[in-house]
Amino acid sequence: MNIMLFHSTYGLRPAVRQAADRLRAAGHEVWTPDLFEGRTFDTVEEGMEFNQQIGKDELLKRAVLAAAPYSERGLVYAGFSLGASVAQTLGLGDEKARGLLLLHGTSDIAANASVDELPVQLHVAEPDPFETDDWLSAWYLQMGRAGADVEVYRYAGAGHIYTDPDLPDYDEEAAEATWRVALGFLDSL
C-alpha cells in the first residue's frame, strides 16, 4: 500500500519516522512530508501557535503538493492528530484514495463530501479533550452520510497522542494495540 503519513502539530518528530519505519517493515511504501519545513515543538501550544501562523489554507496547500506526485497510485492518507485532519481532508477529496488511517484526530467534513465506501479507521483516546464524545458522534454520522465505511477504536485512559513514546501521553499498551489493528486494516485494503 502507498501511504502518505502526516505529522501532528508537534512537527515531524522521531515518532513519525518510527511509525513510517514500522509501516515499511510491514511492506508498505510510506512518505512523511514535513509540513512545518523543519520546525518541531516541545508543547502542543507552541505547535498550535505555529500552525495558526501558517494558516489552514497554506498547510493544506503544502499537503496537496506533497501528495500530488503519488496520488495517481491510490494513496492511503494517514496522520497523527493535526496530521489526521489533513489526511481526512485530502482523502475525502481524492477519488483515487484507497483509505484513511486517522490516529488521534479528525476534521470538519464538507457538506458536499462524497466517497464510495472509502475505508476509514480512527484510533482515539477515551476521553480525548480534542475529540469529544459529542464531536465524534457527529463526525461518525457525517462520514457515514458521505459514504465512508468507518471503524472507530477508543482507548480508555490513554492520552491524546498516546502512540508517541517521547510525549507524556504515551501509553505503550494502547499504542501496540493501535498498530496491531491498523496494520490489519492496511493489509485488508
pLDDT in tens, 157-187: 999 999 999 999 999 999 999 999 999 999 9
pLDDT at 25: 98
Q: Considering its fold, how many domains does the chain have in total?
A: 1
- What is the C-alpha separation between 128 and 161, in angstroms, rounded? 9
121 pLDDT tier (thresholds 50, 70, 90): very high
The cell for 45 is 501550544
Which of 79, 75, 147, 73 is CA-nearest to residue 110? 147
- What is the C-alpha separation between 65 and 57, in angstroms, rounded? 12
Letter string b/e over residues 45-81, b meaning 16 or more CB atoms within 10 A of that residue's CB: eebeebbeeeeeeebbebbeebbeeebeeebbbbbbb
Half-sphere exposure of 88 (CA within 13 A, CB side): 26
Q: What percent of the chain has pLDDT over 90?
A: 99
pLDDT at 60: 96
Residue 174, H or E segment:
helix 172-188
pLDDT at 161: 96
The cell for 167 is 510525549
Domain CATH number, residue 64: 3.40.50.1820
The cell for 102 is 486517522
Task: Give residue for cell 523543519.
Answer: 38
pTM reported for the whole predicted model: 0.97
- What is the domain range of residue 17? 2-188
Letter string b/e over residues 18-35, b meaning 16 or more CB atoms within 10 A of that residue's CB: ebbeebeeeebebebbeb
Average pLDDT value for the chain:
97
pLDDT at 86: 98
pLDDT 10s digits, 11-64: 999 999 999 999 999 999 999 999 999 999 999 999 999 999 999 999 999 999
